[in-house]
Amino acid sequence: MEDIWIEKYRPKKLSEIVGHREIIERLSAYVRSKNIPHLLFAGPAGTGKTTCAIAIAREIFGDAWKQNFHELNASDERGINVVRGKIKDFARTAPIGDVGFKIIFLDEADALTSDAQAALRRTMEMYSHICRFILSANYSSRIIEPIQSRCAIFRFRPLSDEDVKSYIRMIAEKEGLEITDDALDAIAFVAKGDMRKAINALQISASVSKKIDSDTVYLSTSTIRPEEIKELVEQALRGEFMASRKILEDLFTKYGLSGEDILSQIHQTIYDLTIPEDKKISLIERVGEAEFRLVEGSNERIQLEALLAQFALVGRSLR
């Protein structure tokens, strides 16, 4: 690959970011005033947290943004020595330019140890006159309350399918790709609101063919087509256990997925079945039990076949 499209097409301004209209409006108000409080961005991966932080720095500092913006990934360096060393050293130095403060961006801040967070709390307080902190976390509940109370909190939701499709369509046009509507649907299905995953799926598919359809997307990303999983579940519910087991075997060999990947797609499919709600509840309960056993280290094929057997038993009551 000549370049990584995630970086190539990362929005440079807040106004270019798709989705999160309310969040973008509030952040733009801070940028216009050339002043921001400490910020906490919380939400799933690939929803624009890092992009928003970089866009804020670009718009506030202009050409000097790299000198006034320091990014650390807290999952790599998460001990108290990092707070006392790298973070404090950068926070105490004077900013470059006329803005009056610098920005430290702590990605995956929820991976910081409790001691490091306690030290960070005091650092945020001592150097707030010349330094602002932007913290990014997948789980805000893992950030200690004293830090949360010092930050303006912004909660990012998974992006809608339409937002994902519109951005992917824009990239496809710029790269000279021919992409079908069903391919866009497939990318949205694979991404599940994660724009980073969607762009990666497009780039991988483009390396296979300049004309992208749903088959290209599913095969490139090793994702099972929803209709195949639905057929697997429906065969089991009809009592055709050996037929559903054969489909399961084909999925393992065709896509090379783990048992947890297949189980995750089975879980999504159950909600689309045309069966009574109490039966869906029963199926979801059995999926939860199988998932627990897989996480604990059980044999994935045995557990998934046992799950199909349980589906067949539930299916008897539907006939």
Tell me what pLDDT residue 113 has. Answer: 83
Residue-level pLDDT at 1: 46
**Looking at residue 284, what is its pLDDT?**
95
To the nearest whole number, what is the mean pLDDT of the chain? 89
For the stretch 263-271, contacts whose Cβ atoms lie closer than 8 Å and that sit 24 or more positions apart, written own/partner, are 263/287, 263/290, 263/291, 263/294, 263/304, 263/307, 265/223, 265/224, 265/226, 265/229, 266/229, 266/232, 266/233, 266/307, 267/291, 268/226, 268/229, 269/226, 269/229, 269/230, 269/233, 270/233
pLDDT tens, residue by residue, 296-317? 999 999 999 999 999 999 888 7
Position 125 scores a pLDDT of: 87
- Per-residue pLDDT averaged across 210-216, rounded? 92
Rounded mean pLDDT, 108-119: 86
Domains by residue range for the chain, with CATH: 5-155 (3.40.50.300), 161-220 (1.10.8.60), 226-316 (1.20.272.10)
Q: Mean of the pLDDT values across residues 266-284?
A: 91
Q: pLDDT band for 266, please (50, 70, 90 cuts).
A: very high
Predicted confidence at residue 114, as pLDDT, reads 85
**pLDDT of 138:** 92
**Mean of the pLDDT values across residues 142-155?**
94
Rounded CA separation 16/102 (Å): 23
Give residue 75's pLDDT band: very low, low, confident or very high (50, 70, 90): low
Does the CA dihedral 222-223-227-229 come out positive or negative? positive
Which range among 16-25, 73-82, 290-299, 306-315 shows the weakest confidence by mean pLDDT? 73-82
What is the pTM assigned to this prediction? 0.83
On the question of pLDDT at 37 being above 60, the answer is yes
Q: How does pLDDT run across 182-208, given as a tens digit for each residue?
A: 999 999 999 999 999 999 999 999 988
